[in-house]
Structure 1
Amino acid sequence: METPRHKVLWADDEIDLLRSHHMYLNERGYEVTPVTNGEDALEMFAKERFDLVLLDEMMPGLDGLSTLEQLKHRDPNGPVIMITK
């Protein structure tokens, strides 16, 4: 029986630059779902259950802090790591 993979939602407007990080996480048993903005992150979060959300602070449109506020409204105990650069 295969061990279930942990699901990570990663929202970052520069997601293509993070491909090596995705590969690293995939090799270690994480299933990464990349999105490029806060709106898409909220849409994916509504459709699927994620074990962790990685969230860029600065994104066009709905920024990271606004996205975080809405995510926490939907799941107050869901783990989120904010990424600043």
Structure 2
Amino acid sequence: MDQEQEGEFDVNRIEQGLCLLLVDDEEAFLQSASKVLQRKGVTVLTANRGTKALEILAEQSVDVIIMDVTMPGLDGIETLERIRARYPEAKVILLTGHASMESAAQGMEHGAAGYMVKPVDLHALLTKAKQSVGQEG
């Protein structure tokens, strides 16, 4: 089984282009954010729930995961815990529509690389994603 199949994160792949996994239960956000980021040369994968994100990560290597905290079923914090257990080097940026210091602190305790409040500026989000993998903003 090679690295891609194991779902490991290969930082050397960044030179070929940034690959993001967007995880959010708001379909409109997934579609609009994907379009904007793809126009900037970013490869974007999407998942509308935490379980789907875990399925994608089992088969596809990504550079950064951008995930909403509040989702039905497996929420963003629980999904983050599972991602960190399986892929300790994964870079995860959390998003929320509710500016909650408690959820921000909880996410950072579980190893999130960053935290942003919706509505998010996609340029700022892309800058934070690049910074999390060592690229200049």
Query: What TM-score do the two structures reach when normalised by structure 1?
Result: 0.89
1:40 partner SS: helix
Q: State the distance in 2 between where 1:15 and 1:56 align.
A: 12
Greater helix share, structure number: 2
**Paired residues, number:** 83
Alignment partner of 1:43 is 2:58: no
- Residues 53-77 of structure 1 deviation map (CA, whole Å, 9 limit, x = unaligned): 0111011110000000000111112
CA contact (8 A) 1:15 1:35 kept: no
Alignment partner of 1:65 is 2:74: no
Q: State the distance in 2 between where 1:15 and 1:71 align.
A: 22
CA contact (8 A) 1:35 1:41 kept: yes
Alignment partner of 1:55 is 2:67: yes
Higher-Rg structure is 2
Q: Which amino acid aligns with 1:59?
A: M
Greater strand share, structure number: 1
Query: How far 1:27 sits from its partner (Å)?
Result: 1.0
Higher relative contact order (CA 8 A, sep 6+): 1
Structure 1 residue ranges without an equivalent (≥5) = none
Of 61-70 and 18-27, deviating more is: 18-27
Q: Give me the CA root mean square deviation.
A: 1.3
Query: What TM-score do the two structures reach when normalised by structure 2?
Result: 0.57
Give structure 1 regions of 4+ aligned residues with deviation exceeding 4 angstroms. none
- The sequence identity of aligned pairs, in percent, is 36
